Chain A
Amino acid sequence: MNTTAKEPVWIPVSAVSEFPEDGGVCAKVYGEQIAIFHFSSRNEWFACENKCPHTGDMVLARGMIGDSQGEPKVACPMHKKSFSLRTGACISGEEYSIKTYPVHIEDGTVYIGIESPGTQG
């Protein structure tokens, strides 16, 4: 995977109205499953991979969002491990982490920033 820092490519996903307030949904972006959260009580958006790094199940979008000492996070629905939505680090003190993505809103559409689409692997 190309890791050189560069401006991501913005992929439109869906209309803002499709996203529940203070909740998440899963989107399919170039074959990847990405969990996108409309954190409306913070007026922020976050995105991360949908896969629970612990069990491999595609469920993070169904997790509950919240904060821990001000850090925005999502709790995995399988065993309630929490992950920072900013950095992807596991707040519950486990070693694994998740990948996060930038989110951009324009004209009522939600965009996800992906590096070099289609060239991964």
Chain B
Amino acid sequence: MKRKLVILGNGMVGHRFAEKIAEYGGAEKFEVTILGEEPRRAYDRVHLSDYFTNRSADSLYLSPSDWYRANGIRLLLSEPAISIDTVSRKVITSAGTELPFDELVLATGSSAFVPNFEGVDKQGVFVYRTIEDLEKIMTYAKQVSKVAVLGGGLLGLEAAKAVLDMGKESHVVEFASRLMPRQLDEAASSVLKSKIESLGVRIHLNKETKQALGDSSFQGLEFVDGSVLEVEMLIISAGIRPRDELAKNSGIEVGQRGGVLVDDELRTNVYGVYAIGEVALHKGMIYGLVAPGYEMAETLAYNLCSPGQKTKSYAGSDLSTKLKLIGVDVASFGDALGQTEHLPIAYTNPRTGVYKKLVISPDGKKLKGGILVGDADAYSTLLTLYLNNVELPAEPESLIVGTPSKEGSAFGSLPDEAKICSCNNVSKGDLLGAIRSGSCSDLKGLKECTKAGTGCGGCIPQMNSILKEELRAQGKVVTEHVCEHFKYSRQELFQIAKVKGIRSFEEMIRTHGMGNGCEVCKPAVASIIASIYNEPIQKHREIQDTNDKYLANIQRGGTYSVIPRIPGGEITPDKLIVIGQIAKKYDLYCKITGGQRIDLLGARMEQLPDIWKDLVEEGFESGHAYGKAMRTVKSCVGSTWCRYGVQDSTAFAIRIEERYRGIRAPHKLKSAVSGCIRECAEARGKDFGIIATEKGWNLYVGGNGGVNPKHAILLAADLDEETCVKYIDRFMMFYIRTADKLVRTSAWLEQLEGGIEYLKDVIINDRLGINKALEEEMDNLVGTYICEWKDVVEDPEKQKKYKHFVNSEDPDPTVCFIEERGQKRPVDWPKKELVSN
């Protein structure tokens, strides 16, 4: 019986906690329910102001929409808890649902602190906390021209920037004598203030608000000093107040000035009830930053998932921050304000608007904190020195004057346990491990793998240098970008094409790329478009890879080979004769291929339409041997002829081949069906292979005979034909959607995190909830099949493209053949010596 774990709050910290529970294998121990008050799933509140410009909640979401389901977590949105019964141990939600719990985690966060002055409830006064708040702000802002932000902290300055970006007059009102009073000293604040003012934001310090002006709607602020600021709208960002009322009403102990009291293991006074994030009061601190909340989430998730192990303690967090405010770098870390015994070293340059301060220990050996305004390049170096308690150089001022080394030799010697990302508690060793495992080869991948760099982002320069250094050490520089023209992977381009309905290369490069494209991205986009829309690829002829462009394989001498489809390798004598006759008519070399088909080689380009006209008339169709596409399905004779066969492998192979013929994929695909375990069709050497059993069919995937031959692995056993086809549909579409360009199924499966077990979960258990979509997409491809060669032989315009010369009917005079074993073959390429004029 699983324990019931209920999480109250689906903000950044609640979500992180759920992620960590999943990561630590908590799904096996707990039945997890997470309650969110907002109508949407968890999003990145730190970058809320981005919403002003892109208006897209999608880009802020912390996980894909199917994440919760895929991880077995029940998510209830727009349904906050309204009471906690600590005796009968259940939570009651706003919808009246009763949720019994064994463990309860309060991650209810905080609300905006609203100062209690007269008129604060007038129309036109807003708080700045959620996407819904922003939407209200944007709507109301349409009718005003002057806006004030109450609060000169991080969030307030962000809001002021957003106001400026909306084209409004922007004011910041701060109670204290300086901006960002928790992070900056007077000197830093003054540098920042003049920088921000030069950009057009007006700053009012030392202003205690007396009342709001205006009748029903807000018209301005009157301050205690008698001065007045006339603005038509007010955004309050004056700090936070822990959302502790639910805890308080349920008998859970809270601090005098708010916040749920927790110990070093994040436990409240009620057994099995915990608090993390901005609602938690730990050692007298309420942290208004996401990084400490993440640390708490990590600590608690670890402790809950590892009973019997030594528990982790939460020791409090570092309050370092680095931001770009209105284009001005601001960073602060450690004991920035110098509240303990210290020596300050400061550098101010009013001309450039730069201020840097180091707070060092009295003996000059250790860095205790610092502030950087206007130029925060040194931040990641300094933070590392600080967090790892590294001894300072003899002249510590060299760290802030002159040009500090960005990629710092200081890092090379850092121990593996040195903390790099303090938001997510990621060490240098964690980063190296992720890079060395091969699962991430660029910054994006490294962020996904380790979460480092996904908080404040201050450690990104360091991550980059560690990544580069390590890749260099491995002798490689790898990115997932398709090529220089697109900063996207194939998988990303696929999603872009699908979501935006992009149907041409021209549109793709204009909207999401740069330059003119090349032989890498053009065929990749061509393949993506073909996989989504299944139009005749000749419609996009000039972006097709060389073989697709002429619907034939280019061979030595610049001639082509022709491979008609022979499904399952089954062919009548009449058809066999026809192939022979056509080969004779055009003087083609014949060979049985490795995939049970007949290759007709040595066709000149201009002969291709005629050869195919003859083949199509005789009932043959394109074999797609030229495409990164589904090609052939090999078979044995199965139960119809073989004395061992247990199922009709030939019939099934034909069915499979006809179903998937010509479907474009990241690489060529081959299949086979064997009628018994003797495996005469060599099905396990194929991208997907099927082997008959007494009870049905075993489906194997991810094998091939490419550069690194792999045996296919069992995906599912003893299937009936329909289920087998259904699973192949899902498998193929999942591969087509997600594989990188030119990656065959075996390599794709190897790179797939979680490997075959994960694939089984996706294909069989519908872990991602996408199988219906995959099946529909496959049905669409199957239903829109056309023979590409039939399309050409019926259209004289398309046949014109097969002339060798644009201005002459002559064939290429340089093509020569010699005879060997009774058939023709191209002459050898010149050896060693280059061909010269």
Q: A residues engaging B (CB < 8 A)?
A: 13-14, 18-23, 25-28, 33, 36, 39, 41-42, 49, 51-59, 62-70, 72-73, 75, 77-78, 80, 82, 95-96, 99
Q: Given A56-B830, A62-B546, A63-B546: A75 and B837 within 8 A (CB)?
A: no
Expressed in whole angstroms, the minimum distance between the Cβ of B523 and any Cβ of chain A is 8
How long is the Cα–Cα vector from A51 to B834 in the complex, in angstroms? Answer: 12
Residues of A within 8 A of B801 (CB): 20
Q: Given A28-B805, A56-B829, A57-B557: A67 and B519 within 8 A (CB)?
A: no
4 nearest CB pairs, A to B = A66-B518, A77-B546, A75-B519, A56-B835
Assess whether A58 is in contact with B834, with CB atoms less than 8 Å apart: no
In the complex, which of the residues B485, B516, B522, B812 contacts A58, with contact meaning CB atoms closer than 8 Å? B812
Report B816-837 CB contacts with A as 1/0, cut-off 8 Å. 0000000000000110001111
Residues of B within 8 A of A56 (CB): 814, 829-830, 835
Assess whether A25 is in contact with B556, with CB atoms less than 8 Å apart: no
Expressed in whole angstroms, the minimum distance between the Cβ of A84 and any Cβ of chain B is 13
In the complex, which of the residues B516, B546, B837 contacts A41, with contact meaning CB atoms closer than 8 Å? B516
Q: Given A20-B542, A96-B834: A59 and B807 within 8 A (CB)?
A: no
Jot down 5 A-B pairs with beta carbons below 8 A, ordered by A. Answer: A25-B805, A41-B517, A55-B556, A64-B523, A64-B542
In the complex, which of the residues A18, A23, A68, A72 contacts B542, with contact meaning CB atoms closer than 8 Å? A23
Q: Does B541 reach chain A (CB closer than 8 Å)?
A: yes
Assess whether A28 is in contact with B807, with CB atoms less than 8 Å apart: yes
Interface size bracket, B side: 35 or more
Assess whether B517 is in contact with A20, with CB atoms less than 8 Å apart: no
**A52 (CB) vs chain B CBs: closest residue:** B835
Q: Given A59-B554, A67-B516: A36 and B835 within 8 A (CB)?
A: no
**B547 (CB) vs chain A CBs: closest residue:** A77
Q: Does B200 reach chain A (CB closer than 8 Å)?
A: no
Assess whether A18 is in contact with B549, with CB atoms less than 8 Å apart: no
Assess whether B806 is in contact with A66, with CB atoms less than 8 Å apart: no
Assess whether A69 is in contact with B484, with CB atoms less than 8 Å apart: yes
Interface of B, helix, strand, loop or mixed by DSSP = loop
What 7 new A-B contacts, CB under 8 Å, besides A41-B517, A62-B550, A78-B554? A20-B541, A26-B806, A33-B814, A36-B806, A41-B516, A42-B516, A64-B518
Residues of A within 8 A of B523 (CB): 64
Assess whether B517 is in contact with A58, with CB atoms less than 8 Å apart: no
Residues of A within 8 A of B558 (CB): 57-59, 62, 78
Assess whether A14 is in contact with B806, with CB atoms less than 8 Å apart: yes
Q: Does B543 reach chain A (CB closer than 8 Å)?
A: yes
Q: Does B613 reach chain A (CB closer than 8 Å)?
A: no
Q: Given A53-B834, A77-B554: A64 and B806 within 8 A (CB)?
A: no
**B544 (CB) vs chain A CBs: closest residue:** A64
Residues of B within 8 A of A72 (CB): 516
**A65 (CB) vs chain B CBs: closest residue:** B516
Assess whether B542 is in contact with A55, with CB atoms less than 8 Å apart: no
Assess whether A73 is in contact with B542, with CB atoms less than 8 Å apart: no
In the complex, which of the residues B517, B549, B806, B812 contacts A67, with contact meaning CB atoms closer than 8 Å? B517
How long is the Cα–Cα vector from A65 to B522 in the complex, in angstroms? Answer: 9
**A42 (CB) vs chain B CBs: closest residue:** B516
In the complex, which of the residues A13, A21, A25, A66 contacts B517, with contact meaning CB atoms closer than 8 Å? A66
How long is the Cα–Cα vector from A39 to B806 in the complex, in angstroms? Answer: 16
Q: Does B506 reach chain A (CB closer than 8 Å)?
A: yes
How long is the Cα–Cα vector from A23 to B830 in the complex, in angstroms? Answer: 28
**B550 (CB) vs chain A CBs: closest residue:** A62
Residues of A within 8 A of B549 (CB): 62, 64
Q: Does B810 reach chain A (CB closer than 8 Å)?
A: yes
How long is the Cα–Cα vector from A36 to B519 in the complex, in angstroms? Answer: 17
Residues of B within 8 A of A62 (CB): 546, 549-550, 554, 558
How long is the Cα–Cα vector from A39 to B516 in the complex, in angstroms? Answer: 9
Report B198-211 CB contacts with A as 1/0, cut-off 8 Å. 00000000000000
How long is the Cα–Cα vector from A18 to B546 in the complex, in angstroms? Answer: 20
Q: Does B804 reach chain A (CB closer than 8 Å)?
A: yes
